[in-house]
């Protein structure tokens, strides 16, 4: 089997892996990005709400909070400079009469993170969202939406322009680290070994499984994987919304919320369903729970216009009722191995934070 010698390898071509590979290539490294699928971005990156988050919900000074806020501004700037489809739609977070304490908790968290939200009572919500029923709300002007596919195409173009390369259908089946660097065994139609000085495990849902196969890495440092499936339903035809509408968060996610695509079509989701293995199936049986949830705040929803769309799976680091769990970006200070970074639990706001995550990883590898 041929052995290749490469400066830096990034494993996993989702939006975060693409952003990291681009950042390292722009820093002057020879970079190869390996993806086990046929195309880039087919996993988590293409199965989310495509929301640019403002940084509202996360504890102050957490990685999620810091990288979301930094990433939000980097992402808006990048979209403008590359003509990537996006829109700063704004977002309403709404609460019923029995959810005011939860809404105030959201407001406190946002304020601690330096995120400005505009409080509103029922009458103001009625003026802004005439068909919505809510006792109070918070408006986030910095929330937006983005074409994740256009973003990933642009990141890949930057990577290749800087001399980097994406190789698809190239699964990493084994890995090892020692004092001389790292060796990856790559399968697929052209199996090979790669010796490299730096390697980033950004394999998303497979990151933990890959780390468990990594010789030289202490398995006691490896987290347990948990998976939360979130289903989305599309809403056909016209609707009265031009901004995103979120209920107050629920355990495991942000609740069944209304998002828009760049064409203005509405979709609802994701819900939260804990599963044992990644599974992207969408059951029509979940429709009624969506109808019940959404009609609490939008009584005008017409159930027959709600159709199954797609599902995403969040790579969680803890199970139900665990509370907040931060991103894990483990470098030499965590595991003692020079030139190795593992990314675990990169769920929302991973898309928003992608460019900031890339800069964070670069600082640990350059």
**Average confidence (pLDDT) over 326-352:** 97
pLDDT at 144: 98
Taking 60 as the threshold, does the pLDDT of residue 53 lie above it? yes
Look up tokens 């071509």; give the residue: 13
The answer to the question of residue 56 being in a domain is: no
pTM of the model: 0.96
**What is the CATH number for 23?**
3.50.50.60
- Provide the pLDDT confidence category of residue 249 given band limits of 50, 70 and 90: confident
Same domain, 210 and 163: yes
- Provide the pLDDT confidence category of residue 252 given band limits of 50, 70 and 90: low
Same domain, 230 and 220: no
Number of domains into which the chain is organized: 2
> Closest by alpha carbon to 147, among 222, 233, 192, 85?
85
Say how far apart CA 53 and CA 64 lie, in whole Å: 11
Token digits of residue 63: 């990685």
Question: Of all helices (H) and strands (E), which one includes residue 101?
Answer: helix 100-112
Say how far apart CA 350 and CA 269 lie, in whole Å: 17
Taking 60 as the threshold, does the pLDDT of residue 78 lie above it? yes
Which residues contact residue 122 at a Cβ distance below 8 angstroms, ignoring those fewer than 6 apart?
134, 135, 136
Residue-wise DSSP of 42-90: -SGGGSS--EE--S-SSPTTSHHHHHHHHHHHHHHHHHHHHT--EE---
Taking 80 as the threshold, does the pLDDT of residue 250 lie above it? no
pLDDT over 90 percentage in the chain: 94
Residue-wise DSSP of 136-202: EEEEETT-EEE-HHHHHHHHHHHHHHTT-EEE-S--EEEEEEETTEEEEEE-SSS-EEEEEEEEEE-
Name the residue range of residue 121's domain. Answer: 89-141+225-316
- pLDDT tens digit string along 100-156? 999 999 999 999 999 999 999 999 999 999 999 999 999 999 999 999 999 999 999
Taking 70 as the threshold, does the pLDDT of residue 254 lie above it? no
- Provide the pLDDT confidence category of residue 366 given band limits of 50, 70 and 90: confident
**What is the CATH number for 94?**
3.30.9.10
**Mean pLDDT over all residues of the chain?**
95
The answer to the question of residue 266 being in a domain is: yes
Same domain, 182 and 281: no
The answer to the question of residue 232 being in a domain is: yes
């Amino acid at each position: 089997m041929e052995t290749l010698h490469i400066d830096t390898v990034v494993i996993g071509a989702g939006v975060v892996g693409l952003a990291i590979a681009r950042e390292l290539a722009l820093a002057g490294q020879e970079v190869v990005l390996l993806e086990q699928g046929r195309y880039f971005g087919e996993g988590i990156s293409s199965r989310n709400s495509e929301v640019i988050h403002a940084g509202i919900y996360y504890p102050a000074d957490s990685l999620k909070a810091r990288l979301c806020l930094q990433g939000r501004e980097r992402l808006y700037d990048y979209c403008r400079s590359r003509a990537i489809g996006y829109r700063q739609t704004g977002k309403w977070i709404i609460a019923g009469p029995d959810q005011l304490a939860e809404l105030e908790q959201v407001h406190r968290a946002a304020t601690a993170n330096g995120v400005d939200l505009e409080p509103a009572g029922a009458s103001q919500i009625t003026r802004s969202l005439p068909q919505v029923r809510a006792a109070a709300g918070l408006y986030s002007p910095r929330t937006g939406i983005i074409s994740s596919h256009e973003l990933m195409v642009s990141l890949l173009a930057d990577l290749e322009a800087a001399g980097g390369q994406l190789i698809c259908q190239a699964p990493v089946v084994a890995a090892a680290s020692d004092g001389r660097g790292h060796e990856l065994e790559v399968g697929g139609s052209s199996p090979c070994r790669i010796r490299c000085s730096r390697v980033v495990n950004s394999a998303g849902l497979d990151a933990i499984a890959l780390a468990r196969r990594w010789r030289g890495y202490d398995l006691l440092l490896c987290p347990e994987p948990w998976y939360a499936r979130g289903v989305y339903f599309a809403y056909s035809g016209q609707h009265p919304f031009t901004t995103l509408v979120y209920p107050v968060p629920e355990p495991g996610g942000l609740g069944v919320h209304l998002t828009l695509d760049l064409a203005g079509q509405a979709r609802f989701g994701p819900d939260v369903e804990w599963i044992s293995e990644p599974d992207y199936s969408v059951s029509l049986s979940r429709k009624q729970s969506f109808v019940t949830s959404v009609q609490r705040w939008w009584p005008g929803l017409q159930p027959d216009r709600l159709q199954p769309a797609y599902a995403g799976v969040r790579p969680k680091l803890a199970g139900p009722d665990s509370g907040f769990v931060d991103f894990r970006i483990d470098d030499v200070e965590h595991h003692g191995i020079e030139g190795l970074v593992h990314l675990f639990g990169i769920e929302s706001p991973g898309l928003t934070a992608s460019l900031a995550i890339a800069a964070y990883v670069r600082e640990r590898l350059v």
